[in-house]
Structure 1
Amino acid sequence: MQHPERRLLVCVDMERYSRRGNVQQYEAQQDFHRLLREAADGVGMDRVGWATQQAGDGELAVLPREIPEARVIGRFLPELNRRLRQYNASRLPVARIRLRVAVHQGMVHLDGANGFPGQAVVMVSRLCDATPVRRALAAFPDAGVALVVSSDIYRDVVTEYPEEIRPDRFRRIEVVQPEKGFSEPAWLCVLDEDVTSWRDDASPGQQPSSLDEAVKPGEAAQPSGESGTGHGGEPPAGGIRTGNIRVNGQNAVGPGAMAIGSIGRDAILRPDVDR
C-alpha cells in the first residue's frame, strides 16, 4: 500500500442521465468528456494528468498537486459553465447536459484496487449527490453548473482567492443523509445565477445566506405574518398598486408612511395608523 496523498477532488454528475435513451446516453457521454477537455484546455489545464474514476453519468477526478485550487474553481468551472450554456442553447431539454459539481480536498489512496479509498472521496461524492444541489440546479433551467464546495474549500479558496466566482454568490446549506449518519455543512453556487434569492421549500431548515428573506426568482417578497394583499394578489380595499410597489391607506405615501418587508423588488408601504 502506498502512502495516501492530499489532493483536490472534483466529482461531476450529469442531471437526468438515466432518463435518456440508449443513443442519447452514448452521445451525452461523448459530449461530456469533450466539454470537460475543451474547458480545461481553454484555461491552460491538461486533463491528461487527472486520475479519474469513471461512471456512465459522471466522473470522480483526483487532480495533480501542481494545479492551483483557485484556478479550478475560479477559472475552469466558469469556463465549463459557459461551454455548457452554449451547447444547451440549441438543444431540446432532454438532450441538454447540465452538471452537478462538488469540490473537496483530503487524503486519498491512488493505488486502490477498485477506485480511490479515502473519507475525502466519500465526502465529495455525497456533496455532489446532495438533494439541495439537485433542487438548485432544477430551479434554474438555463444553468450549466451547480457547484457545491466543502467548508474547507469555501474558507481557504473561495473567500481568499476569488476570481470569476465571488464568495457572496454562495449560500450555506446542510447536506444531511440520516440513513448513513452523515451531516455536513457546505456552500452552494449555481454559476451565473443568483442562488442566494432561491428558497428551497422542500427542505425545511435550509436558510438563505442573504440578510433579507429569500424568495424564489420572480416571486414577490412578503413580511412574516402579513400578506399585504387580498385574494389573487390584489391590494386590500383602499390600497393602490403601482408596478412592484403596493400602497395601502390614504396617507401611505408621505409623512408617517412606513415600509415593511424586504427592501428590494417589492416593498409594502403602510401608514403608522395601520400598525
Structure 2
Amino acid sequence: MGTHLPEAPCGSGAGPGSPGTDVPGDLLATAALEFAGMVPRGAAPPGGVSLARPLVYALPADGGPRPRTALVTFPFDLEEPPDGCGYREVELAVAFDDEELRALDLRPAPGGDAEGDERVSVFGLGRHRLRWVFRAGPGTEGLRPDGRWTQAVVQLPAGFTEAHGRIALRARLDPPSPDGGHQPVAVRTRDEVPFRLARPDTWLAAPLAHPLAYGPARGPAHTGARAPAHAPVPVPVEPGIGALAAFREPPTPDGGLPPGQHRLCYAVDIERFGARDNAAMIHAQRALMRVMRAACARAGIDWDRCGRQAQGDGYLLVLLPDADVTRAVPRLMTGTADALAAVNAEGRHGGTPLRMRACFHQGIVHEAESGYSGAAVIELFRLLDSGPLRARLAGERDTDLVTAFSDRLYQDLAPHGYEGLSPDGFVRTDVSVPAKGFTGVAWVRAHPRHPGGTRPRPGGSA
C-alpha cells in the first residue's frame, strides 16, 4: 500500500477480499479489484484500493452569508500491483445521487512531477457524474501506487443538509504475458462504494479568489472537459476571528445586531500544522475532529447542540448559555488530553503525532453572519495564539497538550476545586500582543504523557 492513507484496523473485517466494506476512521472502505474481462493465464489477483472518506470544504458565496458551493475531495490509495505488473491507467468515477449537485469546476489534484510522469484528465463539468483519469507517461513503468486525491467545486442544492453518492474505480494493468511481452488488462471494483456528505462535517475553506486556495499542479493536466490547468490544494484558513462558519444561517435577516449571549468558548490549535504535507494535513484534521468529539462525549456535552467553527488547523466550540461551566471545563480538559493520547497511540494522525494548544474563556458572544464574534472570542484567540503558550508547548517535550485559562475563568474555577481542579500545575503568564493593542493574563498548565492512558486529577501537578 502507499503511505498516505491508513490501513484498515485489525478486526474490522475490511480488506482486499471484502469489496466495499465500510470501516471506521479515515477510511470509507477498502475494495478489491477484479478482472473486468478474460483473466490472463497465471495472473495473480490484481490487488485493491483504499477509499478515504470524502472531505467537504465550504466556500463563501458572493453577496450572501450562506455558502452555496463547496470544494469536495475524494482521496484514494492503490495497493501495490502484483509482481511484474504496472498500472497504466486509473479512473475514479463519482456519481452524486442528487442531480442538482453539479460540478462547477473540476481540477486534477497534484499527481505527476515536473518531468510529466503522470497525466490527468477530468470529465463531467456541469454534471453530477464525474471522472478523473490518471495515465502513466510515455516510457514509464507505470503509475506509482501511492495516495492521490481528486477535487471538484460543486453547486450545493437549496436547503442542503446531506448528499449521497457512489464511487467506483477502474484501472488498466500490464501483466507480463507468456511470451515475455505485456498485454494490458482491465480491472475494476466489483461494487460501487456509497458515500455521504454531511453539513455538520463540513470544513471551512479559503475562498476561490484567495491566493492560497489553489496551488500549481506538479505536472501537466490534460483535460477531457473544460478545466483549469492548475490543481487546487485544500489549504486550511489560518486561525483567526472573522472566518466564515460553514453553512451558518443569517441570525438577523433585518440586518440588526445579532443577540449577544454569555457563552463558554473552547478553542484548540495543532502545532506546526503548516509543516505537514497536504495528505498529512487532511489526516491531522480528521484526527482533530476525533479528539474534539471524544472530548465532548467525555464531558457529557451534546456535539450537535454546540456552536462549532472549523479553523483549518484548529477548532472552536461555543457551548450553550446554560452549560454548567464548573463541570464542562475540567471534563473537556481531561477528555481532550485522553483523546489526544489515544489518537497518537493509534498512529492515525498522518505520520506526525498531534501536539496541541488549547484555551478556555467565557464572555458575551454574537453569532454573526461570518462566524462567532465579540471581544470574548477575540481574547480567546489572542491567548491561544500567544507566544508564551506556543513556547510552553515547544519547550515541554514530554507533553502533547498545554491548556490556558483566561484570568477571569481561572479565578472562578481553580481555587474552588470543581471536579478536582486546583491551582497546582497552573502558571500565571502575562500575554502581550502590541501589534493588536492587547494585553492579558493566562493561566497555563501542561498535561504530561502517562503510560497506559492513566492521568492525574485535572488539578494535579504538571
**TM-score by structure 2 length?**
0.40
Residues 202-226 of structure 1, C-alpha deviation per residue, up to 9 Å, x if partnerless?
xxxxxxxxxxxxxxx9xxxxxxxxx
Structure having the larger proportion of residues in strand: 2
Mean CA deviation greater in 164-173 or 14-23: 164-173
Tell me what 2:273 maps to: 17
The one-letter amino acid paired with 1:4 is G
Rounded to whole Å, the distance in 2 between the matches of 1:83 and 1:3 is 34
Match of 1:173 in 2: 429
SS in 1 for 2:399: coil
Query: Which residue of 2 is the match for residue 272 of structure 1?
Result: none
Q: 2:319 aligns with which of 35, 44, 63?
A: 63
Tell me the distance in 2 between the aligned counterparts of 1:146 and 1:164: 18
Distance 1:14 1:31, change over 3 A: same
Given residue 106 of structure 1, which amino acid in structure 2 is its aligned partner?
G
Where do residues 53-202 of structure 1 align in structure 2 (5 Å cutoff)?
53-89=309-345, 91=347, 95-110=352-367, 112-192=368-448
Which residue of 2 is the match for residue 43 of structure 1?
Answer: 299
1:36-88 deviation digits (Å, cap 9, x = unpaired): 11222123221111112211101122111232112232112112102212322
Q: Partners in 1 of 2:315 and 2:389 — Cα distance? A: 17
How far apart, CA to CA, are the structure 1 residues paired with 2:329 and 2:400?
15
Instruction: Report 1 or 2 for greater relative contact order, CA contacts < 8 Å, sequence distance ≥ 6.
Output: 1
Which segments of structure 1 move beyond 4 Å, counting only runs of 4 or more? 90-94
In structure 1, give the amino acid aligned to 2:409. Answer: I
Question: Displacement, 1:128?
Answer: 0.3
Question: Cα gap change, 1:90/1:37 in structure 2, threshold over 3 Å: closer, same or farther?
Answer: closer
Shift of 1:179: 1.3
CA 1:93–1:3: 2 relative to 1, 3 Å:
closer
Deviates more, 1:184-193 or 1:33-42: 184-193
Where 1:109 maps in the other structure, the secondary structure is strand
Residue deviations 1:63-115, cap 9 Å, x none?
112321122321121121022123224549952112111111111111x1211
Question: Which residues of 2 match residues 240-259 of structure 1 at below 5 A?
Answer: none
Gaps of 5+ in 1: 194-216, 218-275
**1:3, 1:109 within 8 Å by CA — same for their partners in 2?**
yes
- Call closer, same or farther: CA 1:117–1:43 in 2, change over 3 Å: closer
**2:308, 2:317 within 8 Å by CA — same for their partners in 1?**
yes
Identity rate, percent: 32
The residue aligned with 1:258 is none
Distance 1:103 1:42 in 2: 17
**Retained in 2: the 8 A contact 1:75–1:164?**
no
Distance in 2 (alpha carbons) for counterparts of 1:31 and 1:165? 27
Distance 2:362 2:446 in 1: 20
Instruction: Identify if the C-alpha distance between structure 1 residues 42 and 50 changes in structure 2 by more than 3 Å, giving closer, same or farther.
Output: same
Question: Which stretch of the first structure deviates more once superposed, 83-92 or 43-52?
Answer: 83-92
Q: Which amino acid aligns with 1:65?
A: P
Segment of structure 1 superposing worse, 128-137 or 71-80: 71-80
Offset, 1:164: 4.0
Return the letter of the residue paired with 1:61: L
Q: Hey, which of these two has a bigger chunk of helix by percent?
A: 1
TM-score by length of 1: 0.65
Contact 1:85-1:142 within 8 A present in 2 as well: no
Matches of 2:418 and 2:427, distance apart in 1: 15
Deviation of residue 129 (structure 1)?
A: 0.3
CA spacing shift, 1:182–1:43, aligned 2, 3 Å: closer
Between the aligned partners of 1:172 and 1:5, the Cα distance in structure 2 is: 28
CA distance in 2, matches of 1:147, 1:56: 19
Structure 2 gaps of 5+ residues are 1-256, 450-461
Deviations 1:134-157 (A, max 9, x none): 111112223232111111100012
| Equivalent position amino acid for 2:402 in 1 | A
Contact 2:262 2:362 in 1 (8 A): yes
- Paired residues, number: 193
